[in-house]
Structure formats: C-alpha cells, structure tokens
Amino acid sequence: MSHHDTEYFDAESSAAKSGGTTKGRSLKQEQTRARLINATRILMTQRSFDNITIAELTEAVHVGTGTFYNYFHSREELLEAVAKDSFESLGDALDTALSTLEDPAEVYAASLRHLIRYSLNDRVWGDLVVQMGGTHPLLTRILGPRARRDLLRGLEAGRFKIDDLDLATSCTFGALVSAIDLGLKGSPILPMEKHDEIFATAMLRMVGMTSIEAKMISSRSLRDISF
C-alpha cells in the first residue's frame, strides 16, 4: 500500500468510525461508496462478479484495499448495494415515465416491457435479476409494491380479473425472472426482438384480458425512460 493510500485509508477509517460527524466527512464517505458501486458495475460489464476481486475495485477508485471494509462487510453486501441502486433508479424512472398513462393495463404491460428490454440491453442488470431470483427480498421490497399497485389499480378499474393479488404479484416476478433469463440466453423458437411484447401479452392474459386486447396493448409504442 502506498503512502497516499495509507493516508486515504486512515482518513476514511476515522470518518467511518466517528459516524461522519462533519458534513465534509459524510460527503466524502458517500462519494467513495458510490465510486465503489460504480466501479463494480463497470467491471461487471467485462466479467462476472465472482471473478472481480476487492483489490481490483479499490485500485479502480484509487483507495487502499482496507478502505473497502469501511463501507461493505463482504462482497455479497456490495453486490446487494449495486442491485439496490439499480432497482431503485429504474423503479423511479418507470414511475415518472408512466405516470400520465390512464389505462392501468397499459401501465402494467409497459412496466414489464421496459424491465425486459432494459435487462437485455444492460446485461449487468439482467444478470443481477436472474442471479437474485424473483423471491429475493431486495427485488420484492423495491419493485414488488409497484407491481402490486399496478395490479390493484387494474383490478379496481375492472380491467383485470384477479382472485389473489399477492399470488398474482408473485407470479409476475417469477415469470419476469424466467423471461429475462430466456432472453439473455436466447431462444431458437421465440423472436427476441418481440420478447417484451410476447411476455407482456402473456401476463395480461394471466390477469384475465382477451388475447386480442392483450396483444394490442402490448404492441403499443413505449415511452422513453431516463435515469
């Protein structure tokens, strides 16, 4: 470890142990934590998370290796932080982009289509979803309430026929993870350029819509999202 890294580590350690008693220290901690998360995402575009070392991460953000443990107790905790940051950002972006849609069926379908498309375009995000699975607490805690909200609105508006709302929410996530996994692997049968539409149509059929209407809603133009 270089003299510079030792000084950085000492400063970071002091701030972490003191709880960040000044705004300057607190801000510095947040910035370093964010840089570690961002570095992880960048390295994950090159290889799997299992093949990324802590030394590589700290070197990428120019801090001492020991600094890592001021922010994360383990590699698994870091992975969850990366996922949490990604899930929350995408969830908020979807809420903003789809807030003006009046038909709850279109909101539900568009959300699922965006999630499929984003997962296939950003393999880091897609791999995270598949790795965690549809029942992972982090995924269900952040995106679960949104899915349940959309299903409830469709039910209350008379657009959906749902006997058990919680079961429908669980089915949505289970099917979503499977669809993302299939999309990432590729299918010799299903056209991948229509993967999001096919999936959304199937999910609308699950909640009681006719095949014709489900296909019509799922083939509508998608609004851009930004985050």
For the chain, 227 residues long, give each residue's pLDDT as a single digit of tens: 444 443 333 334 433 443 444 444 578 888 889 899 989 888 887 887 888 889 999 999 898 888 899 899 988 888 888 888 878 888 888 888 898 999 999 999 999 999 999 888 888 788 888 877 777 777 778 788 899 999 999 999 999 999 999 999 999 989 999 999 998 888 766 667 889 999 999 999 999 999 999 999 999 999 887 75
Please check whether residue 57 is in contact with residue 68, taking contact to mean a CB–CB distance below 8 angstroms.
yes
> Among 3.10.580.10, 3.40.50.1110, 3.60.40.10, 1.10.357.10, what is the CATH number of 3-72?
1.10.357.10
DSSP 44: H
Main-chain dihedrals φ then ψ at residue 7, nearest 5 degrees: -65, -40
Query: What is the pLDDT at residue 135?
Result: 73
> Which residues does 215 contact at the CB level (< 8 Å), separation at least 6?
197, 201
Please check whether residue 128 is in contact with residue 118, taking contact to mean a CB–CB distance below 8 angstroms.
no
Q: Where are any strands of DSSP class E within 78-164?
A: none
Highest CATH level, class, for 79-218: mainly alpha
What is the residue extent of each domain of the chain? 3-72, 79-218
Residue 99: strand, helix, or coil: coil
Query: What is the pLDDT at residue 190?
Result: 66
Main-chain dihedrals φ then ψ at residue 51, nearest 5 degrees: -100, 15
Q: Considering only CA atoms, which of 225, 112, 226, 223 is closest in space to residue 177?
A: 112
H or E segment at 146? helix 144-156
Query: What is the pLDDT at residue 21?
Result: 41
Q: Considering only CA atoms, which of 192, 119, 83, 207 is closest in space to residue 157?
A: 207
Distance of CA 35 to the CA centre of its chain: 18
* Domains 3-72 and 79-218 equal at CATH topology level: yes
Distance of CA 101 to the CA centre of its chain: 22
